[in-house]
Amino acid sequence: MDNVVIYSASWCVPCQTAKQWFDSKGISYVEKQVDSDDPSIIKEFTEAGYMATPTIIINDQVIVGHSPKKYQKALAM
């Protein structure tokens, strides 16, 4: 089972598109919204050095932006 985390923002259109891609493939993920009221998510996001949404981590591989080809490669599809 692959470990997928999506750092997103509620206003981010590429974030929505990325989540739709994972949903359409039946791939589960943990979503962490960086514009939420949860300071621990914001701290985690910034301390890791991430600066853009979506930032997607698949099995420790970081992918910034919506890129199905990169997702497939990271998931070994």
Phi and psi, residue 68, nearest 5° = -55, -35
- Cβ(54)–Cβ(34) below 8 Å: no
Question: How far is the C-alpha of 26 from the C-alpha of 23, rounded, in Å?
Answer: 5
Question: How far is the C-alpha of 16 from the C-alpha of 8, rounded, in Å?
Answer: 8
Q: Tokens at residue 39, please?
A: 């300071």
Extended beta strands in the chain, E state: 4-8, 30-33, 55-58, 61-64
Residues 5-60: pLDDT tens digits?
999 999 999 999 999 999 999 999 999 999 998 999 999 999 999 999 999 999 99
